[in-house]
Structure 1
Amino acid sequence: MDTRRLRLLSANIQAGSSTRGYHDYVARSWSHVLPAGNKRGSLDAIAQLAGEHDIVGLNESDPGSLRSGFTNQTHYLAQRAGFDYWSHQPNRRVGGVASSANGLLSRLEPKEVIDHALPGRIAGRGVLLARYGEGDKGLLIAVAHLSLGANSRAAQLGFIAELLHDHPNAVLMGDFNCSIDVPEMRALFRNTRLQPPDGEVHTFPSWRPQRAIDHILVGDGLKTSNARARPAAASDHLALSLDLHVPDAALR
Protein backbone atom coordinates (compact mmCIF):
# COMPACT_ATOMS: atom_id res chain seq x y z
CA MET A 1 0.00 0.00 0.00
CA ASP A 2 1.35 3.41 -0.97
CA THR A 3 1.52 5.84 1.94
CA ARG A 4 2.36 9.49 2.47
CA ARG A 5 4.16 10.86 5.51
CA LEU A 6 2.61 13.87 7.21
CA ARG A 7 4.22 15.66 10.15
CA LEU A 8 1.68 16.44 12.89
CA LEU A 9 1.97 18.80 15.86
CA SER A 10 -0.37 19.28 18.81
CA ALA A 11 0.30 22.40 20.90
CA ASN A 12 -1.43 24.11 23.81
CA ILE A 13 0.03 27.59 23.27
CA GLN A 14 -1.51 29.26 26.37
CA ALA A 15 -2.43 32.29 24.21
CA GLY A 16 1.25 33.19 23.98
CA SER A 17 1.54 33.80 27.74
CA SER A 18 4.68 32.86 29.64
CA THR A 19 4.70 30.28 32.43
CA ARG A 20 8.09 29.04 33.60
CA GLY A 21 7.09 27.67 36.99
CA TYR A 22 4.03 27.16 39.19
CA HIS A 23 4.66 30.56 40.81
CA ASP A 24 3.93 32.25 37.46
CA TYR A 25 0.28 31.16 37.62
CA VAL A 26 -0.06 33.76 40.40
CA ALA A 27 2.81 36.19 39.76
CA ARG A 28 2.01 36.50 36.05
CA SER A 29 -1.76 35.99 36.18
CA TRP A 30 -2.21 39.43 34.59
CA SER A 31 -0.69 38.13 31.35
CA HIS A 32 -3.71 35.87 30.88
CA VAL A 33 -6.11 38.82 30.66
CA LEU A 34 -3.99 41.78 29.50
CA PRO A 35 -2.13 42.43 26.22
CA ALA A 36 1.26 42.61 27.93
CA GLY A 37 4.45 40.58 27.93
CA ASN A 38 6.19 39.26 24.84
CA LYS A 39 3.21 37.38 23.38
CA ARG A 40 4.16 38.32 19.82
CA GLY A 41 7.66 36.93 20.35
CA SER A 42 6.17 33.71 21.73
CA LEU A 43 3.86 33.40 18.74
CA ASP A 44 6.79 33.89 16.35
CA ALA A 45 8.66 31.05 18.08
CA ILE A 46 5.57 28.82 17.89
CA ALA A 47 5.19 29.71 14.19
CA GLN A 48 8.76 28.58 13.55
CA LEU A 49 8.00 25.21 15.16
CA ALA A 50 4.62 24.89 13.43
CA GLY A 51 6.25 25.59 10.08
CA GLU A 52 8.13 22.27 10.28
CA HIS A 53 4.81 20.39 10.15
CA ASP A 54 1.98 19.64 7.72
CA ILE A 55 -1.00 19.69 10.11
CA VAL A 56 -1.04 21.51 13.46
CA GLY A 57 -3.73 21.34 16.15
CA LEU A 58 -3.81 24.27 18.56
CA ASN A 59 -5.38 24.64 21.99
CA GLU A 60 -5.78 27.92 23.91
CA SER A 61 -5.23 30.05 20.82
CA ASP A 62 -6.81 33.46 21.42
CA PRO A 63 -9.24 34.32 18.58
CA GLY A 64 -8.95 38.08 19.10
CA SER A 65 -9.68 39.47 22.56
CA LEU A 66 -8.11 42.13 24.77
CA ARG A 67 -5.29 39.89 26.05
CA SER A 68 -4.04 39.20 22.50
CA GLY A 69 -4.30 42.83 21.42
CA PHE A 70 -7.32 41.71 19.35
CA THR A 71 -5.08 39.48 17.22
CA ASN A 72 -6.54 36.22 15.96
CA GLN A 73 -3.59 34.08 16.97
CA THR A 74 -4.50 31.11 14.74
CA HIS A 75 -4.60 33.38 11.69
CA TYR A 76 -1.35 35.06 12.75
CA LEU A 77 0.40 31.69 13.10
CA ALA A 78 -0.94 30.54 9.71
CA GLN A 79 0.49 33.62 8.05
CA ARG A 80 3.84 33.51 9.84
CA ALA A 81 4.33 29.77 9.28
CA GLY A 82 3.13 29.77 5.66
CA PHE A 83 -0.02 27.65 5.97
CA ASP A 84 -2.59 28.17 3.20
CA TYR A 85 -5.46 26.70 5.23
CA TRP A 86 -6.51 27.48 8.79
CA SER A 87 -9.64 27.22 10.91
CA HIS A 88 -10.48 28.12 14.48
CA GLN A 89 -13.22 27.36 16.97
CA PRO A 90 -13.74 30.02 19.67
CA ASN A 91 -15.24 28.27 22.65
CA ARG A 92 -14.47 30.03 25.94
CA ARG A 93 -14.60 33.58 27.23
CA VAL A 94 -12.66 34.45 30.38
CA GLY A 95 -13.86 37.41 32.42
CA GLY A 96 -15.05 39.30 29.36
CA VAL A 97 -11.48 40.25 28.35
CA ALA A 98 -9.99 36.95 27.13
CA SER A 99 -11.14 34.22 24.79
CA SER A 100 -9.82 30.80 23.87
CA ALA A 101 -10.10 28.64 20.76
CA ASN A 102 -9.10 25.38 19.19
CA GLY A 103 -7.24 25.92 15.95
CA LEU A 104 -6.10 23.99 12.89
CA LEU A 105 -3.26 24.86 10.50
CA SER A 106 -2.96 22.73 7.37
CA ARG A 107 -0.86 22.53 4.22
CA LEU A 108 -3.50 20.26 2.67
CA GLU A 109 -6.93 21.65 1.82
CA PRO A 110 -9.66 20.04 3.96
CA LYS A 111 -12.81 18.94 2.18
CA GLU A 112 -14.84 20.12 5.17
CA VAL A 113 -14.31 21.62 8.64
CA ILE A 114 -17.04 21.31 11.28
CA ASP A 115 -17.28 22.76 14.80
CA HIS A 116 -18.94 20.73 17.54
CA ALA A 117 -19.65 21.96 21.08
CA LEU A 118 -18.75 19.37 23.71
CA PRO A 119 -20.91 18.50 26.72
CA GLY A 120 -19.68 19.29 30.20
CA ARG A 121 -20.65 20.72 33.57
CA ILE A 122 -19.34 24.11 32.43
CA ALA A 123 -19.96 25.14 28.83
CA GLY A 124 -17.06 26.24 26.64
CA ARG A 125 -15.29 23.15 25.29
CA GLY A 126 -15.37 22.00 21.69
CA VAL A 127 -13.93 19.72 19.04
CA LEU A 128 -12.84 20.94 15.60
CA LEU A 129 -13.28 18.26 12.92
CA ALA A 130 -11.54 18.40 9.52
CA ARG A 131 -12.12 15.89 6.70
CA TYR A 132 -9.61 15.09 3.97
CA GLY A 133 -10.21 12.72 1.08
CA GLU A 134 -13.51 11.11 0.19
CA GLY A 135 -15.89 8.77 1.95
CA ASP A 136 -15.52 6.69 5.08
CA LYS A 137 -11.85 5.90 4.38
CA GLY A 138 -10.75 9.55 4.17
CA LEU A 139 -8.43 11.12 6.75
CA LEU A 140 -10.34 12.65 9.66
CA ILE A 141 -8.54 15.07 12.02
CA ALA A 142 -10.18 16.09 15.32
CA VAL A 143 -8.69 18.79 17.59
CA ALA A 144 -10.05 18.99 21.15
CA HIS A 145 -9.27 20.48 24.57
CA LEU A 146 -10.96 18.40 27.28
CA SER A 147 -12.12 19.36 30.75
CA LEU A 148 -10.23 18.95 34.01
CA GLY A 149 -13.02 16.94 35.65
CA ALA A 150 -13.27 13.20 34.97
CA ASN A 151 -17.08 13.18 34.64
CA SER A 152 -17.07 15.98 32.08
CA ARG A 153 -14.19 14.32 30.20
CA ALA A 154 -16.12 11.05 30.08
CA ALA A 155 -19.12 12.82 28.52
CA GLN A 156 -16.88 14.67 26.06
CA LEU A 157 -14.99 11.54 24.99
CA GLY A 158 -18.31 9.71 24.62
CA PHE A 159 -19.48 12.45 22.23
CA ILE A 160 -16.20 12.31 20.29
CA ALA A 161 -16.41 8.50 20.11
CA GLU A 162 -19.74 8.83 18.28
CA LEU A 163 -18.12 11.18 15.74
CA LEU A 164 -15.13 8.92 15.11
CA HIS A 165 -16.80 5.58 15.81
CA ASP A 166 -15.88 3.41 12.81
CA HIS A 167 -13.24 5.53 11.06
CA PRO A 168 -9.98 3.62 10.47
CA ASN A 169 -8.14 6.79 9.43
CA ALA A 170 -9.17 9.09 12.29
CA VAL A 171 -6.80 11.22 14.37
CA LEU A 172 -7.73 12.80 17.71
CA MET A 173 -5.23 15.35 19.00
CA GLY A 174 -5.06 17.95 21.74
CA ASP A 175 -4.84 18.64 25.46
CA PHE A 176 -6.79 15.84 27.14
CA ASN A 177 -5.96 16.92 30.72
CA CYS A 178 -5.49 13.24 31.62
CA SER A 179 -3.17 10.31 31.08
CA ILE A 180 -3.89 7.52 28.63
CA ASP A 181 -4.84 4.92 31.26
CA VAL A 182 -7.84 6.57 32.97
CA PRO A 183 -11.28 4.89 32.66
CA GLU A 184 -12.73 7.45 30.24
CA MET A 185 -9.80 6.92 27.86
CA ARG A 186 -10.20 3.14 28.00
CA ALA A 187 -13.85 3.65 27.03
CA LEU A 188 -12.75 5.77 24.05
CA PHE A 189 -10.53 2.95 22.78
CA ARG A 190 -13.33 0.39 23.21
CA ASN A 191 -15.81 2.49 21.23
CA THR A 192 -13.59 3.68 18.36
CA ARG A 193 -10.80 2.35 16.18
CA LEU A 194 -8.33 4.70 17.85
CA GLN A 195 -5.30 2.93 19.30
CA PRO A 196 -3.35 3.63 22.50
CA PRO A 197 0.09 5.12 21.74
CA ASP A 198 3.17 2.92 21.93
CA GLY A 199 4.62 4.97 24.79
CA GLU A 200 4.20 8.06 26.93
CA VAL A 201 5.58 11.45 25.97
CA HIS A 202 5.57 13.78 28.97
CA THR A 203 4.42 17.30 28.08
CA PHE A 204 3.32 18.94 31.35
CA PRO A 205 4.50 21.04 33.02
CA SER A 206 6.88 22.34 30.38
CA TRP A 207 9.63 23.29 32.87
CA ARG A 208 9.67 19.79 34.44
CA PRO A 209 7.54 17.44 32.31
CA GLN A 210 6.14 14.65 34.46
CA ARG A 211 2.70 14.01 32.93
CA ALA A 212 1.60 12.81 29.51
CA ILE A 213 -1.67 14.73 29.02
CA ASP A 214 -1.29 15.94 25.42
CA HIS A 215 -1.98 13.15 22.94
CA ILE A 216 -2.17 12.38 19.23
CA LEU A 217 -4.24 9.20 18.88
CA VAL A 218 -4.68 7.48 15.52
CA GLY A 219 -7.00 4.87 14.05
CA ASP A 220 -5.95 1.34 13.13
CA GLY A 221 -5.63 2.29 9.44
CA LEU A 222 -2.74 4.64 10.23
CA LYS A 223 0.80 4.27 11.55
CA THR A 224 2.99 6.70 13.50
CA SER A 225 6.67 7.15 14.24
CA ASN A 226 9.10 9.57 15.84
CA ALA A 227 6.79 10.88 18.61
CA ARG A 228 8.55 13.49 20.75
CA ALA A 229 8.01 16.60 22.86
CA ARG A 230 8.99 20.01 21.50
CA PRO A 231 9.14 23.38 23.32
CA ALA A 232 6.10 25.55 22.49
CA ALA A 233 7.75 28.89 23.36
CA ALA A 234 6.85 29.91 26.93
CA SER A 235 3.67 27.81 27.29
CA ASP A 236 3.14 25.62 30.33
CA HIS A 237 2.81 22.65 27.93
CA LEU A 238 5.38 21.15 25.61
CA ALA A 239 4.08 20.47 22.13
CA LEU A 240 3.76 16.90 20.83
CA SER A 241 5.13 16.09 17.38
CA LEU A 242 4.99 12.87 15.36
CA ASP A 243 5.13 11.48 11.84
CA LEU A 244 1.84 10.09 10.52
CA HIS A 245 1.90 7.53 7.72
CA VAL A 246 -1.34 7.83 5.74
CA PRO A 247 -2.58 5.60 2.89
CA ASP A 248 -2.61 7.65 -0.32
CA ALA A 249 -6.23 6.66 -0.84
CA ALA A 250 -7.22 8.46 2.40
CA LEU A 251 -6.14 11.79 0.91
CA ARG A 252 -7.82 11.47 -2.50
Structure 2
Amino acid sequence: MLSANIQAGSSTRRYSDYATRSWSHVLPAGGKRTSLDAIAQLAGEHDIVGLQESDPGSWRSGFTNQTHYLAERAGFDYWSHQPNRRVGSLASSANGLLSRLEPVEVADHPLPGRISGRGVLLGHFGTGTEGLTVAVAHLSLGAQSRKLQLDFIAELLQDFPNAVLMGDFNCVVDRPEMAHLFRSTRLQPPACAVHTFPSWKPQRAIDHILVTDTLHCDGMRAVPAAFSDHLALSVSLEVPEAALQR
Protein backbone atom coordinates (compact mmCIF):
# COMPACT_ATOMS: atom_id res chain seq x y z
CA MET A 1 0.00 0.00 0.00
CA LEU A 2 1.01 3.57 -0.63
CA SER A 3 -0.32 6.86 0.70
CA ALA A 4 0.85 10.05 -1.01
CA ASN A 5 0.04 13.73 -0.81
CA ILE A 6 1.12 14.63 -4.34
CA GLN A 7 0.59 18.42 -4.08
CA ALA A 8 -1.12 18.34 -7.50
CA GLY A 9 2.23 17.58 -9.12
CA SER A 10 3.78 20.87 -7.96
CA SER A 11 7.39 21.16 -6.79
CA THR A 12 8.39 22.34 -3.32
CA ARG A 13 11.98 21.70 -2.27
CA ARG A 14 12.43 24.35 0.42
CA TYR A 15 10.22 26.62 2.53
CA SER A 16 10.93 29.62 0.31
CA ASP A 17 9.29 27.77 -2.60
CA TYR A 18 5.89 28.31 -0.98
CA ALA A 19 6.34 31.98 -1.86
CA THR A 20 8.59 31.95 -4.92
CA ARG A 21 6.80 29.06 -6.64
CA SER A 22 3.26 29.86 -5.50
CA TRP A 23 2.35 30.42 -9.16
CA SER A 24 2.73 26.68 -9.78
CA HIS A 25 -0.33 26.04 -7.61
CA VAL A 26 -2.59 27.92 -10.03
CA LEU A 27 -0.82 27.70 -13.41
CA PRO A 28 -0.48 24.65 -15.71
CA ALA A 29 3.31 24.78 -15.71
CA GLY A 30 6.26 23.84 -13.55
CA GLY A 31 6.92 20.30 -14.73
CA LYS A 32 3.75 18.77 -13.32
CA ARG A 33 3.58 16.08 -16.00
CA THR A 34 7.15 15.00 -15.23
CA SER A 35 6.31 14.83 -11.52
CA LEU A 36 3.18 12.79 -12.21
CA ASP A 37 5.16 10.32 -14.30
CA ALA A 38 7.60 9.84 -11.41
CA ILE A 39 4.70 9.35 -8.98
CA ALA A 40 3.12 6.85 -11.40
CA GLN A 41 6.33 4.82 -11.38
CA LEU A 42 6.26 4.73 -7.57
CA ALA A 43 2.54 3.93 -7.44
CA GLY A 44 2.99 1.10 -9.91
CA GLU A 45 5.04 -0.81 -7.33
CA HIS A 46 1.95 -1.09 -5.08
CA ASP A 47 -1.47 -2.76 -5.17
CA ILE A 48 -3.57 -0.08 -3.46
CA VAL A 49 -2.73 3.62 -3.47
CA GLY A 50 -4.39 6.49 -1.60
CA LEU A 51 -3.84 10.00 -3.00
CA GLN A 52 -4.33 13.41 -1.45
CA GLU A 53 -4.19 16.77 -3.25
CA SER A 54 -4.74 15.16 -6.63
CA ASP A 55 -6.20 17.72 -9.03
CA PRO A 56 -9.42 16.37 -10.60
CA GLY A 57 -9.17 18.65 -13.63
CA SER A 58 -8.69 22.40 -13.39
CA TRP A 59 -6.59 25.12 -15.02
CA ARG A 60 -3.45 24.34 -13.02
CA SER A 61 -3.43 20.69 -14.15
CA GLY A 62 -4.20 21.53 -17.77
CA PHE A 63 -7.69 20.14 -17.05
CA THR A 64 -6.17 16.70 -16.47
CA ASN A 65 -7.79 14.42 -13.93
CA GLN A 66 -4.56 13.49 -12.17
CA THR A 67 -6.00 10.40 -10.44
CA HIS A 68 -7.12 9.01 -13.79
CA TYR A 69 -3.78 9.93 -15.37
CA LEU A 70 -1.85 8.10 -12.63
CA ALA A 71 -4.13 5.05 -12.92
CA GLU A 72 -3.45 4.79 -16.64
CA ARG A 73 0.29 5.44 -16.39
CA ALA A 74 0.77 3.00 -13.49
CA GLY A 75 -1.49 0.28 -14.93
CA PHE A 76 -4.32 0.27 -12.39
CA ASP A 77 -7.62 -1.15 -13.63
CA TYR A 78 -9.67 0.49 -10.88
CA TRP A 79 -9.64 4.08 -9.73
CA SER A 80 -11.94 6.55 -8.05
CA HIS A 81 -11.67 10.11 -6.82
CA GLN A 82 -13.45 12.52 -4.52
CA PRO A 83 -13.22 16.20 -5.52
CA ASN A 84 -13.24 18.41 -2.45
CA ARG A 85 -11.89 21.96 -2.62
CA ARG A 86 -12.28 24.17 -5.68
CA VAL A 87 -10.93 27.67 -6.30
CA GLY A 88 -13.07 28.70 -9.26
CA SER A 89 -11.70 27.03 -12.39
CA LEU A 90 -8.08 27.73 -11.41
CA ALA A 91 -7.39 24.92 -8.95
CA SER A 92 -9.16 21.96 -7.41
CA SER A 93 -8.18 19.14 -5.08
CA ALA A 94 -9.34 15.56 -4.57
CA ASN A 95 -8.70 12.37 -2.68
CA GLY A 96 -7.94 9.43 -4.98
CA LEU A 97 -7.91 5.65 -4.77
CA LEU A 98 -6.04 3.37 -7.18
CA SER A 99 -6.36 -0.40 -6.93
CA ARG A 100 -5.40 -3.61 -8.70
CA LEU A 101 -8.22 -5.31 -6.77
CA GLU A 102 -11.79 -4.68 -7.87
CA PRO A 103 -13.73 -2.96 -5.08
CA VAL A 104 -17.26 -4.15 -4.39
CA GLU A 105 -18.22 -0.61 -3.38
CA VAL A 106 -16.70 2.87 -3.29
CA ALA A 107 -18.29 5.63 -1.24
CA ASP A 108 -17.28 9.18 -0.41
CA HIS A 109 -18.32 11.42 2.45
CA PRO A 110 -17.76 15.13 3.08
CA LEU A 111 -16.07 15.76 6.40
CA PRO A 112 -17.31 18.28 8.98
CA GLY A 113 -15.18 21.27 9.86
CA ARG A 114 -15.13 25.02 10.28
CA ILE A 115 -14.29 25.38 6.58
CA SER A 116 -15.82 22.97 4.06
CA GLY A 117 -13.74 21.16 1.46
CA ARG A 118 -12.43 18.03 3.19
CA GLY A 119 -13.59 14.47 2.62
CA VAL A 120 -12.97 10.77 3.15
CA LEU A 121 -13.05 8.21 0.33
CA LEU A 122 -13.90 4.58 1.20
CA GLY A 123 -13.22 1.48 -0.84
CA HIS A 124 -14.64 -1.90 0.23
CA PHE A 125 -12.95 -5.08 -1.00
CA GLY A 126 -14.55 -8.50 -0.55
CA THR A 127 -17.80 -9.19 1.23
CA GLY A 128 -18.92 -9.76 4.78
CA THR A 129 -16.96 -9.09 7.94
CA GLU A 130 -13.80 -10.66 6.49
CA GLY A 131 -13.54 -8.10 3.70
CA LEU A 132 -11.19 -5.12 3.70
CA THR A 133 -12.14 -1.45 4.00
CA VAL A 134 -9.68 1.23 2.89
CA ALA A 135 -10.27 4.89 3.75
CA VAL A 136 -8.34 7.84 2.29
CA ALA A 137 -8.56 11.23 3.98
CA HIS A 138 -6.93 14.64 4.13
CA LEU A 139 -7.66 16.33 7.45
CA SER A 140 -7.76 20.00 8.40
CA LEU A 141 -4.96 22.10 9.84
CA GLY A 142 -7.00 23.15 12.90
CA ALA A 143 -7.29 20.80 15.89
CA GLN A 144 -10.99 21.50 16.49
CA SER A 145 -11.94 20.67 12.90
CA ARG A 146 -9.68 17.59 12.95
CA LYS A 147 -11.47 16.32 16.05
CA LEU A 148 -14.85 16.61 14.31
CA GLN A 149 -13.44 14.86 11.25
CA LEU A 150 -11.79 12.04 13.19
CA ASP A 151 -14.96 11.47 15.23
CA PHE A 152 -16.89 11.21 11.96
CA ILE A 153 -14.37 8.77 10.48
CA ALA A 154 -14.43 6.69 13.67
CA GLU A 155 -18.19 6.30 13.31
CA LEU A 156 -17.77 5.19 9.69
CA LEU A 157 -15.12 2.59 10.50
CA GLN A 158 -16.20 1.27 13.89
CA ASP A 159 -18.08 -1.71 12.41
CA PHE A 160 -15.28 -2.80 10.06
CA PRO A 161 -12.80 -5.17 11.75
CA ASN A 162 -10.38 -5.18 8.78
CA ALA A 163 -9.76 -1.54 7.99
CA VAL A 164 -7.03 0.81 6.84
CA LEU A 165 -7.10 4.59 7.24
CA MET A 166 -4.44 6.44 5.28
CA GLY A 167 -3.71 10.00 4.36
CA ASP A 168 -2.42 13.39 5.37
CA PHE A 169 -3.66 13.92 8.93
CA ASN A 170 -1.83 17.23 9.50
CA CYS A 171 -1.01 16.00 13.02
CA VAL A 172 1.03 13.40 14.87
CA VAL A 173 -0.74 10.34 16.28
CA ASP A 174 -0.43 11.29 19.96
CA ARG A 175 -2.53 14.43 19.55
CA PRO A 176 -5.64 14.49 21.81
CA GLU A 177 -8.02 14.53 18.82
CA MET A 178 -6.68 11.14 17.71
CA ALA A 179 -7.64 9.44 20.98
CA HIS A 180 -11.33 8.95 20.14
CA LEU A 181 -10.43 7.30 16.84
CA PHE A 182 -8.34 4.65 18.61
CA ARG A 183 -10.95 4.16 21.37
CA SER A 184 -13.88 3.76 18.98
CA THR A 185 -12.31 1.57 16.29
CA ARG A 186 -9.81 -1.26 16.09
CA LEU A 187 -7.28 0.99 14.38
CA GLN A 188 -3.92 1.00 16.13
CA PRO A 189 -1.25 3.68 16.50
CA PRO A 190 1.82 2.87 14.41
CA ALA A 191 4.67 1.03 16.12
CA CYS A 192 7.04 3.87 15.29
CA ALA A 193 6.78 7.36 13.88
CA VAL A 194 7.90 7.84 10.28
CA HIS A 195 8.66 11.48 9.51
CA THR A 196 7.20 12.72 6.22
CA PHE A 197 7.12 16.52 6.39
CA PRO A 198 8.71 18.60 5.04
CA SER A 199 10.01 16.28 2.35
CA TRP A 200 13.41 18.00 2.04
CA LYS A 201 14.11 17.71 5.81
CA PRO A 202 11.49 15.41 7.41
CA GLN A 203 10.81 16.43 11.01
CA ARG A 204 7.12 15.63 11.55
CA ALA A 205 5.14 12.41 11.24
CA ILE A 206 1.85 13.80 9.96
CA ASP A 207 1.08 11.29 7.18
CA HIS A 208 -0.17 7.92 8.40
CA ILE A 209 -1.27 4.45 7.34
CA LEU A 210 -3.26 3.09 10.29
CA VAL A 211 -4.48 -0.52 10.33
CA THR A 212 -6.77 -2.49 12.63
CA ASP A 213 -5.38 -5.05 15.07
CA THR A 214 -6.64 -7.88 12.82
CA LEU A 215 -4.16 -6.97 10.07
CA HIS A 216 -0.40 -7.30 10.00
CA CYS A 217 1.74 -4.66 8.32
CA ASP A 218 5.47 -4.57 7.85
CA GLY A 219 8.19 -2.37 6.39
CA MET A 220 6.65 1.08 6.86
CA ARG A 221 8.91 3.54 5.10
CA ALA A 222 8.87 7.07 3.71
CA VAL A 223 9.65 7.53 0.03
CA PRO A 224 9.80 10.64 -2.21
CA ALA A 225 6.63 11.44 -4.16
CA ALA A 226 8.47 13.36 -6.91
CA PHE A 227 8.91 16.92 -5.58
CA SER A 228 5.88 17.12 -3.29
CA ASP A 229 6.34 18.81 0.09
CA HIS A 230 5.31 15.49 1.71
CA LEU A 231 7.08 12.16 1.51
CA ALA A 232 4.81 9.24 0.66
CA LEU A 233 4.32 6.26 2.99
CA SER A 234 4.73 2.68 1.75
CA VAL A 235 3.85 -0.48 3.70
CA SER A 236 3.36 -4.20 3.10
CA LEU A 237 0.02 -5.45 4.41
CA GLU A 238 -1.33 -8.97 4.86
CA VAL A 239 -5.03 -8.95 4.00
CA PRO A 240 -7.70 -11.62 4.56
CA GLU A 241 -8.34 -13.95 1.65
CA ALA A 242 -11.94 -12.77 1.53
CA ALA A 243 -10.72 -9.30 0.50
CA LEU A 244 -9.36 -10.81 -2.71
CA GLN A 245 -12.72 -12.29 -3.69
CA ARG A 246 -15.40 -10.40 -5.57
TM superposition score category, shorter chain reference: over 0.9
Q: Taking every aligned residue pair, what percent have the same amino acid on both sides?
A: 78
Displacement after TM superposition at 1:95 (Å) = 5.0
Task: Spell out structure 1 runs of 4+ moving beyond 6 A.
Answer: none
Q: Using the alignment, how far apart are the partners of 2:147 and 2:130 within structure 1? A: 27
Q: Which residue of 1 aligns with 2:16?
A: 23
Match of 1:46 among 39, 59, 65: 39
Q: Using the alignment, how far apart are the partners of 1:167 and 1:110 within structure 2? A: 15
Question: What is the number of residues matched between the two proteins?
Answer: 245
CA contact (8 A) 2:101 2:244 kept: no
Match of 2:162 among 156, 169, 192: 169
1:59 pairs with 2:52? yes
1:121-144 CA distances to partner (integer Å, 9 max, x unpaired)? 000000000000101221000000
Q: Using the alignment, how far apart are the partners of 2:4 and 2:68 within structure 1? A: 15
1:141-196 CA distances to partner (integer Å, 9 max, x unpaired)? 00000000000000000000001003220000000000010011111100101011
CA contact (8 A) 1:111 1:132 kept: yes
Q: Which residue of 2 aligns with 1:243?
A: 236
Residue 239 of structure 2: SS of its match in structure 1?
strand
Q: Using the alignment, how far apart are the partners of 2:54 and 2:210 within structure 1? A: 21
Which stretches in structure 1 are left out of the alignment for 5+ residues? 1-7
Q: Using the alignment, how far apart are the partners of 1:39 and 1:22 within structure 2? A: 19
1:179 pairs with 2:172? yes
Give TM-score scaled by structure 1 length.
Answer: 0.96
Match of 1:155 among 135, 144, 148: 148
Residue identity in the other structure for 2:93:
S
Q: Which residue of 1 aligns with 2:108?
A: 115
CA contact (8 A) 1:166 1:193 kept: no
Q: Which residue of 2 aligns with 1:5?
A: none
Q: Using the alignment, how far apart are the partners of 1:167 and 1:220 within structure 2? A: 11
1:68-119 CA distances to partner (integer Å, 9 max, x unpaired)? 0000000000000000000000000125410000000000000000010000
Residue identity in the other structure for 1:118:
L
Residue identity in the other structure for 2:210:
L
CA contact (8 A) 2:113 2:149 kept: yes
Residue 195 of structure 1: SS of its match in structure 2?
coil
Match of 1:142 among 129, 135, 140: 135
Residue 124 of structure 2: SS of its match in structure 1?
strand
Q: Which residue of 2 aligns with 1:77?
A: 70
Give TM-score scaled by structure 2 length.
Answer: 0.98
CA contact (8 A) 2:49 2:98 kept: yes
Q: Using the alignment, how far apart are the partners of 1:205 and 1:159 within structure 2? A: 28
1:218 pairs with 2:211? yes
Q: Which residue of 2 aligns with 1:36?
A: 29
Displacement after TM superposition at 1:62 (Å) = 0.2
CA contact (8 A) 1:194 1:217 kept: yes
Residue 137 of structure 1: SS of its match in structure 2?
coil
Residue identity in the other structure for 1:243:
S
Q: Using the alignment, how far apart are the partners of 2:183 and 2:159 within structure 1? A: 11
